[in-house]
A and B are shown apart, each in its own frame.
Chain A
Amino acid sequence: MNIPADLKYTKEHEWAKLDGDLVTVGITDYAQGELGDVVFVELPSEGDEVGQDETFGTIEAVKAVSDLYSPVSGEVVEVNSLLEDTPETVNKDPYGEGWMIKIRLSDPAQFDGLMDAAAYQELIG
């Protein structure tokens, strides 16, 4: 199972990466594996406000549909439009090309409070 050490994680299986005040968000390798073939990803629009632990979209796989939860609060400044036509990118490269949104972080403390790789590893066992 791939759990990069330089990322932070949520218990809902999103990852978050901090770069300046921007947080890039996607779902973990474990999550994509559990979901199986992703067929649609529904994402917010640029400029939307999202709150920590609130849903920012949905991911539809062959077996089930799941909500996506935001690791932090802030404004959505970029969405990965590539996923509209090639949602399977989430399966192929969950930490790279399969990223979903970038959020301008409103409260840095929220990011620091997320799980690190070791804690996430423990969560998924």
Chain B
Amino acid sequence: MIKKTALNNIHHKLNAKMVEFAGYEMPIQYHSIREEHKRVRETVGVFDVSHMGEIEVRGPKALNMVQKVTINDAAALEIGQEQYSAMCYADGGIVDDLLVYRFSDYYLLVVNAANKDKDFDWIMQNKIDGCEITDTSDAVTQLAVQGKKAEATLQKLTEADLAAIKYYRFVEDELAGVHMLISRTGYTGEPGFELYFQNENAEKIWNAVFDAGAEFDIEPIGLGARDSLRLEKKMCLYGNDIDQTTNPLEAGLGWITKLDKGDFIGREALLKVKEQGVTRRLAAFVLQETGFPRHGYEIYYEGRKVGEVTSGTVSPILEKGIGMGYVPKDISKIGTIIQIKVRNKLIPAEIIKPPFV
């Protein structure tokens, strides 16, 4: 049966276009993907991202457990800090990308909705003694409040000093009278926060945030704009840009791959990749003529096929076709001109240094 978030009624009342995503009925757009996109770039927008999975790791060996299954160095986290990370298979392929939050007595892993059950099973398969793993996804509502006016919006609702929360840090405090996790993170490249709280408060918080943001023309934002916003910042989407057939080094995630942190699943394979050098890279390109690059479109270089588009769109900010895809390492240099096959037409595209905007 299709799952619903605690804000499902609100989405319907707002006449959102609903689609099934990762087993949930989710809003893909409220009125216009492109206008919602611009709203987040200009002032502030709110996303219901309650479909995301939350997995808690507790117990005396919680850190060891997190270190074993993730590639970033969780030992470097202070209490109240989180990091972007990934889980890998033994061959270096990616199980999922995720956020790891460090609390005083446990770790919280926030994972992709579509992968949540797979991730949980993977962690359980590799579980060590001395820790407990709990999937709390169904009880938690997650709102992402993103944009230059996100802080001004939320500051009206809380005594916590939001300006003091640095990037990738969080506090637990009351906001609109509800105890919650307030984290300075997001998937848009804009300043903003992600709020995690119990489902029963979902509508109350939603309404309070919209009242507070009214002076900034705050709007609800669907998954359509979430995708184009993250793509303009070249953030990876699991299932498109990364998956079990790609490794973090070729995906441009070397900065979270801490090969010297001690042993973890996938380390040996990734060490070998690092020693031998990657054979391909996830490149970011901008079309030089009109066209809409889409997932699966072929990439050409000097007349031969060299890869496929993993994510693409027409940037609402640049008003140009943008995208990414894996190409052989020697072609991945900034400034290289490749071609994207858009419905039988080869359109030139330049490989650029990300982000796009």
Contact = CB atoms under 8 A, between A and B. Distances in A.
Chains A and B form a bound pair = yes
A65 B292 contact: yes
B292 A60 contact: yes
B233 interface: no
B142 interface: no
Contacts of A77: none
B140 interface: no
Interface stretch (A5-13, A34-42, A100-108): A34-42
A62 B319 CA distance: 12
B29 interface: yes
Contacts of B83: none
A36 B290 CA distance: 19
Nearest to B35: A37
Contact of B228 (A58, A60, A62, A91): A62
Interface residues of B, number: 16
B61 interface: no
A58 B32 CA distance: 20
A40 B290 contact: yes
A36 B224 contact: yes
B33 interface: yes
Contacts of A63: 28, 224
Interface residues of A, number: 11
Nearest to B314: A39
Interface in B3-18: 17
Contact of A37 (B33, B290, B343): B33
B141 interface: no
Contacts of A88: 34
A37 B313 CA distance: 12
A4 B314 CA distance: 32
Interface string B206-236: 0000000000000000001000100000000
B32 A37 contact: yes
A79 to B, nearest CB: 16
Nearest to A42: B290
A40 B32 contact: no
A91 B32 contact: yes
Interface string A63-94: 10100000000000000000000001001000
B290 A62 contact: no
Interface string A22-57: 000000000000001101100000000000000000
Contacts of A60: 292, 314
A112 B78 CA distance: 74
B314 A62 contact: yes
Nearest to A63: B224
Of A39, A62, A65, A91, most B-chain CB atoms within 10 Å: A62
B33 A36 contact: yes
A60 B29 CA distance: 17
B29 A36 contact: yes
A27 to B, nearest CB: 17
Contacts of B34: 37, 39, 62, 88
B143 to A, nearest CB: 23
A65 B34 CA distance: 16
Contact of B343 (A39, A62, A65): A65
Interface of B: 17, 28-29, 32-35, 224, 228, 290-292, 294, 313-314, 343
11 contacts: A36-B29, A36-B32, A36-B33, A37-B32, A39-B314, A40-B290, A40-B292, A58-B343, A60-B314, A62-B228, A63-B224
Interface of A: 36-37, 39-40, 58, 60, 62-63, 65, 88, 91
